[in-house]
């Protein structure tokens, strides 16, 4: 298969809420949602084998089958490595991680079957495994790449040192981590610095902090509302759009993964790409969320 350059849509559609544990959409509803999502210019769909108790990939595949969209127009991202006792996996007795050669290859091939596609654009190791052998993982990546079953590889929730260890053996294309205005750790712990160093664009899950405002101290809530009210008026934008634009402003080239099943919210996210926050806008949001100005 001819090598495709690594490129995702600026906004990524997360599928965790599609099935069990989420909105439990029907295949027909997913078909409609896929079409509406792609029509908005969002062409990347982020999945994981474990979503929906190991059922969401197959559910997405049923919806994809009737979407009538050329495979080359979209990008499928999925993750592997978590083994949890579920109805679909009764052989697992305890939740654990498996990043062995055999499991990575098996999981990728199983995802292809579930989704109904010949290749994955990107396969991520879902969580860092305390027992991971980077040489064995790199060997699995090489095998899947050589067979044309997976085009690119990355990781999710890896620390900079864990990323470095694997990246030295096989070139990774992303690190998908939790990042938002309310979860600023990747801006401070070297994660996004490393991405810029290697020209690797990170993906951000939970970009809207899952509405995590009410759990903040009252002082933070008030400072956030004041700062966001000013910026909402200045940019004619919603709070969610400002939070998305805040991530997009970073030079690492963050891909926000939007875990919604509502097309109107995806449309809002796309509009956020047009918002141009100034440095002072950006830092006013940082200051409000942290509760103090930068040193």
Q: Which residues are catalytic?
A: 51
DSSP E strands in 52-144: the ranges are 75-80, 82-83, 96-97, 120-125
The residue assigned the tokens 């490129």 is: 7
Give the rounded distance of the alpha carbon of 93 from its chain centre.
28
CA-based nearest residue to 206, from 44, 77, 17, 80: 17
Q: Are 16 and 22 in contact (CB under 8 A)?
A: yes
d(CA 244, CA 254): 10
d(CA 217, CA 159): 28
Q: What are the φ/ψ torsions at residue 12 (nearest 5 degrees)? A: -110, 140
End-to-end CA distance of the chain: 51
| Neighbouring residues of 168: CB distance < 8 A, sequence distance ≥ 6 | 134
């Amino acid at each position: 298969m001819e090598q495709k350059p690594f490129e995702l849509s600026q906004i990524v559609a997360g599928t965790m809420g599609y099935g069990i544990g989420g909105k439990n959409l029907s295949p027909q509803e997913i078909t409609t949602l896929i079409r509406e999502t792609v029509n908005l210019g969002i062409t990347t769909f982020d999945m994981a084998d474990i979503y929906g108790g190991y059922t969401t990939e197959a559910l997405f595949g049923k919806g994809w089958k009737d979407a009538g969209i050329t495979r080359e127009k979209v990008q499928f991202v999925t993750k592997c490595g978590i083994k949890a006792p579920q109805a679909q996996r009764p052989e697992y007795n305890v939740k654990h991680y498996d990043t062995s050669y055999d499991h990575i290859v098996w999981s990728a091939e199983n995802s292809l079957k579930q989704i109904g596609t010949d290749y994955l654009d990107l396969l991520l190791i879902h969580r860092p495994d305390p027992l991971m052998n980077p040489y064995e993982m790199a060997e699995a990546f090489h095998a899947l790449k050589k067979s044309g079953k997976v085009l690119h590889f990355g990781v999710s929730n890896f620390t900079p040192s864990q990323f470095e260890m694997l990246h030295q053996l096989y070139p990774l294309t992303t690190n998908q981590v939790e990042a938002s205005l309310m979860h600023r750790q990747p801006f401070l712990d070297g994660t996004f610095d490393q991405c810029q160093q290697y020209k690797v664009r990170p993906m951000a899950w939970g970009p809207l902090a899952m509405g995590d405002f009410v759990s903040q101290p009252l002082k933070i809530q008030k400072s956030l509302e004041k700062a966001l009210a000013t910026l909402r008026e200045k940019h004619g934008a919603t709070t969610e759009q400002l939070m998305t634009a805040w991530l997009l402003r970073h030079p690492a080239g963050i891909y926000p993964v939007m875990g919604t099943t509502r097309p109107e919210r995806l449309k809002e996210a796309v509009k956020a790409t047009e918002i141009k926050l100034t440095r002072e806008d950006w830092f006013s949001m940082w200051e409000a969320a942290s509760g103090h100005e930068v040193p």
